[in-house]
Amino acid sequence: MQQENAIEVNHISKCFKVYSDKGHELKDHIVSGKRKNYTKREVLKDVSFSVKKGEAIGLVGHNGCGKSTTLKLLTKIMYPDSGTIEMRGRVSSLIELGAGFHPDMSGRENIYINASIFGLTKKEIDRRLDDIIAFSELEGFIDNPVRTYSSGMYMRLAFSVAINVDADILLIDEILAVGDAVFQAKCFNRLREIKAAGTTVVIVSHSLQQIEQFCERSLWIQDGRIQAEGQPREVHSRYLDFMGKRRQKIGSSTDASDKTGKDRWGNGNARITDIRLLGESGAPQSVFKTGESLRIQMDYEVIRPVEDAVFGIGIFRTDGLRCYGTNTRLERFERFDLRKGGCLELDLHEVNLLPGEYSIDLTIECDVGIPVDYYTKALRIEMYSDIQDVGVSRIKHTWTFDRHCETDGGNETL
């Protein structure tokens, strides 16, 4: 193991057996013996990485990719089928907070039990006891049985124990949302102090923003292998782009012309009969990256002539906020009448909606806004991006620093 490293993972693989023949009675196990019908699921495949002393890294990837399994192998909750893991120093893990807590014992007693699991002696716990209790902010409840604690109090106490064991390596799995907002900020600041003191930190989280704030490096695990590693923002951009395209493939199978359960009204003189939502390639698509273009094709039939027809569109956020709307009259189309059915095509260029879900209303009106076929929530789109702006849409902008500002560069366009 190299001197500068705290963790070295070398070519580890891990496989689980998924049994299909489940015995439900004791007789089944006695008569049939051991279960034999199973399939192997390879969760990790030849994974290697190292973490330097005092470095913080984040593990990212979709659910089931192998992130938490990697962390459990590091904690030695389980062991790899092949490969080796070397770690230098005392390890503390924030994976299953409160593992080992006894509900009938007091918070104080459970501190001693939990801290001893992390390898602390009674003398070491005695020295840290006041700090643990003070950090948890549970002074008034510390001698009550933990079964009387709320879930938030339970998590506070467990978190306080785990971060007060003076670990050389800290392993964290999706538990940074502990307690209320003020306590969460307190926990995050405490983790920064631990890192500054030289502790090596490995975080598994779906909160990419937290990893970018805290970690120097990210590892993207995809289907049991390391897909990419490097600067968090660079890796996360690639990961989000991959997940967005994956969602596009899933979303493209949705039938956008499905009209069941939609609210529609109008005089019925004309009717939208089919809708197609297409991406830039011309293929069906319902998931888009911020800044991409999309096309809406709408077939309609005419039952009775529609005088002074108007076609319109409205885009709404899931909470009902109107994000954008226009129609052929607002855009000063010359008056036209509908005599027979046809197809309307609308191209929306560079849709800069921020990540989230949106619905699209399509309308046919006549005269002074009389609804002919008002089709609400006719389409659903999902936007994705690594953009962290807030609001509804992305506005291209430029920051300009004058000569009195201390900066290495000049203007920057985003």
Residue keyed to tokens 């510390």: 142
- Residue 189's alpha-carbon distances to 139, 227, 256, in angstroms, are 21, 30, 47
* DSSP H or E segment with residue 247: helix 232-251
Give the model's confidence band at 413: pLDDT under 50 very low, under 70 low, under 90 confident, else very high: low
Whole-number mean pLDDT of the chain?
84
Using one digit for the tens of pLDDT, what is the confidence trace for 323-347? 999 999 989 999 999 999 999 999 9
CATH class assigned to 5-247: alpha beta
HSE-up of residue 95 (Cα within 13 Å, Cβ side): 20
* Structure tokens that stand for 356 in this block: 């989230």
> What's the CATH fold of domain 264-384?
Coagulation Factor XIII; Chain A, domain 1 (2.70.50)
Could you give the angle at which helices 122-136 and 151-162 cross, rounded to 10 degrees?
130
Alpha-carbon span 29 to 33, nearest angstrom:
5
- Of the listed ranges 11-25, 230-244, 366-380, the least confidently predicted one is 11-25
Model's pTM, two decimal places?
Answer: 0.67
pLDDT of residue 55: 93
pLDDT of residue 102: 87
Contact partners, residue 335, CB within 8 Å, separation at least 6:
308
Average pLDDT on 148-168 reads: 84
pLDDT of residue 254: 40
Using one digit for the tens of pLDDT, what is the confidence trace for 27-51? 656 655 555 677 888 899 999 999 9
Compute the Cα dihedral for 383, 388, 392, 395 and give only its sign: negative
Where along the chain do its domains lie? 5-247, 264-384
Do 235 and 229 touch, CB atoms closer than 8 A? yes
Using one digit for the tens of pLDDT, what is the confidence trace for 80-112? 999 999 999 888 887 766 666 888 999 999 999
- Of the listed ranges 14-18, 345-349, 371-375, 410-414, the least confidently predicted one is 410-414
Give the model's confidence band at 261: pLDDT under 50 very low, under 70 low, under 90 confident, else very high: very low
Give the model's confidence band at 381: pLDDT under 50 very low, under 70 low, under 90 confident, else very high: very high
Same fold: 5-247 with 264-384: no
Answer whether residue 66 shows pLDDT above 70.
yes
* Structure tokens that stand for 251 in this block: 């979303």
